[in-house]
Amino acid sequence: MIPALQTRALTIGYRRHGKAQALLDQLDLAVAPGELVSLLGRNGAGKSTLLRTLARSQPPLFGSVLIRGQDAARLSAYDLARAVGVLLTERLAFAAMPALRLVELGRYPHTGWSGSLSQGDRTIVAEAIAAVGAQHLAQRDMAELSDGERQRIMIARALAQRPAVLLLDEPTAYLDVSARVEMFAMLRHLAREQNVAIILSSHDLDLSLRLSDTVWLIDKANRLIHGAPEDLLSGTALSAAFSSNAIDFSLTERSFRILSRLRGEVFVSATGAERDLLRTVLEREGYGLTDEPNRASFSVLATAEGWTLRTTQGTSGGSSYADLAHTVRSLDENPVP
Ligand SMILES: Nc1ncnc2c1ncn2[C@@H]1O[C@H](COP(=O)(O)OP(=O)(O)OP(=O)(O)O)[C@@H](O)[C@H]1O
């Protein structure tokens, strides 16, 4: 099968005073139709630069990008627009036009110069708008939409192109929490449904790791490591790429934990969600959890009715986590022996 997108010995970066300054080099990557790839890495790692290079918005330093087996550098602008849908992060000035019109413009590479839409084009536009859940925005003016609403419309426009490859730079950036999840799930579904290869950059680690087929991870040594999320999770690549003195990536939680100097450890009798909630309260107060009672500064027992905290000096209890936090904080003022 011909990959939807492929890179051959691709080196990306910038030229300063005529001298090449590479961010990532010798990339040999391939993305199949229907595959969802998340591009992860710290700020300044080179994610946008890579996406811009794949989109032909900036030239590679060396090497090449192939779209459906054809050298992207040789495609006409028209053919490129039919094959590759792009949403980069540049803030665009929006003309006063209805959102629907903007999405319709996505059909332009297929309609030719006349720009007149067939019934089929209109159906595709309607489907693209529905796919991003933006039917209620269609008649609104772009200039008066919120950042998140515009983001949806811009993605709908890219979808309306019906491209083979969709390149999205931080598509969830302006979205609220539930909209992020919905957008990611929608892209996941779309990749399979329309057999489109989607490459997106994201700082939403948890969603990327759950919903992508493949992760491209740019590590601190400027290497691009790729594999299924689980392959990266089972090794040290992810923690090595993101951890620092202040935070640590927890494989089990698929998110970051703040590393602070521990005031002590706590023995907790609780399971499931209650244990997780206790953990976050205690971590915020500077305590870690231990399974060994003799190492613990104090213990906490949680049940559905409430919590009981035991120190060598006595026992207290309550029903809310706020009360527990308050009690733990007051222990700090009178340290547990
Ligand atoms: N036009 C430019 N000329 C020279 N260097 C640039 C240019 N644009 C970006 N850079 C540099 O290239 C590096 C990568 O930038 P890029 O925007 O690709 O990172 P990123 O991974 O997308 O970061 P973020 O997560 O912050 O969006 C940065 O060090 C940046 O300063």
CA of 43 to the centre of ligand 1 (A): 8
| Domain C-terminal end among 196, 212, 242 | 242
Among 27, 48, 222, the mutation site with the greatest number of ligand 1 atoms within 8 A of its Cβ is 48
Mutate to test the pocket of ligand 1, among 14, 51, 90 (most ligand atoms within 8 A of CB): 14
Residues 24 and 109 in one domain: yes
Residue 212 banded pLDDT, cuts 50, 70, 90: very high
Distance 90 CA to ligand 1 centre (A): 12
Asked whether residue 98 is domain-assigned, the answer is yes
Domain containing 116: what range? Answer: 5-242
Residues 158 and 198 in one domain: yes
269 and 220 co-located in one domain:
no
User: 23 CA to middle of ligand 1, Å?
Assistant: 9
Q: Please write the tens of the pLDDT for every residue from 245-287.
A: 667 777 666 677 666 667 889 999 988 888 889 988 998 888 8
- Asked if residue 249 belongs to a domain, the reply is no
Count how many domains the chain has.
2
Q: Are 216 and 10 contacting, i.e. CB atoms less than 8 angstroms apart?
A: no
- 250 within domain boundaries: no
Whether residue 32 lies inside any domain: the answer is yes
Based on the domain organization, do 54 and 184 belong to the same domain?
Answer: yes
Task: Give the DSSP H/E element, type plus range, for residue 11.
Answer: strand 5-16
Probe target for ligand 1 pocket from 49, 50, 90, with the most ligand atoms within 8 Å of CB = 49
Share of residues in the chain with pLDDT > 90 (%): 56
Half-sphere exposure of 37 (CA within 13 A, CB side): 27
Which helix or strand (DSSP H or E) is residue 43 part of?
none
How many Å is the maximal CA-CA distance in the chain? 83
In the reported structure, the alpha carbon of residue 24 is separated from the centroid of ligand 1 by a whole-number distance in angstroms of: 12
Between residues 54 and 314, the one the model is more confident about: 54
pLDDT at 103 over 90: yes
Residues 77, 198 within the same domain: yes
Say yes or no: 220 and 113 in one domain: yes
CA atoms within 13 A on the CB side of 312: 9
pLDDT at 148: 83
- Say if residue 25 is in the same domain as residue 162: yes
Of ligand 1's atoms, which has the minimum distance to the CA of residue 170?
27
In this structure, the answer to whether residues 275 and 238 fall within a common structural domain is no
In this structure, what CATH number is given to the domain that contains residue 324?
A: 3.40.50.800
The CATH code of the domain that includes 67 is 3.40.50.300
- CA of residue 290 to ligand 1 center, whole Å: 42
Across residues 43-49, what is the average pLDDT? 94
- Domain match, 48 and 117 both: yes
235 within a domain of the structure (yes/no): yes
Q: What is the reported pTM?
A: 0.83
SS3 at position 188: helix
pLDDT at residue number 41: 93
* Domain co-membership, 233 together with 269: no
Q: Predicted ipTM? A: 0.97
Ligand 1 is surrounded, with C-beta below 6 A, by 14, 23, 41, 43-49
How close is the Cα of 58 to the center of ligand 1, in Å? 12
172 and 320 share one domain: no
Residue 136 lies in a domain: yes
Are 46 and 23 in contact, with CB atoms under 8 Å apart?
yes
Q: Are 48 and 201 in contact (CB under 8 A)?
A: yes
Measured CA to CA, the distance from residue 27 to residue 104 in angstroms comes to 35
Protein residue with its CA nearest to atom 8 in ligand 1: 49
Q: Which of 12, 17, 27, 47 to mutate to test the pocket of ligand 1 (most atoms within 8 A of CB)?
A: 47
Residue nearest to atom 24 of ligand 1 (CA): 43
Angle between helices 147-160 and 119-131 (to 10 degrees): 140
- The answer to whether residue 138 is domain-embedded is yes
Each residue's pLDDT tens digit, 9-42? 999 999 998 899 999 999 999 999 999 999 999 9
Among protein residues, the one with the nearest Cα to ligand 1's atom 6 is 14
Q: Is residue 256 part of a domain?
A: no
CA-closest residue to ligand 1 atom 17:
48
Out of 39-48, 241-250, 300-309, least confident range: 241-250
Does residue 159 sit in the same domain as residue 228?
yes
How far, in Å, from the CA of 46 to the mean position of ligand 1? 5
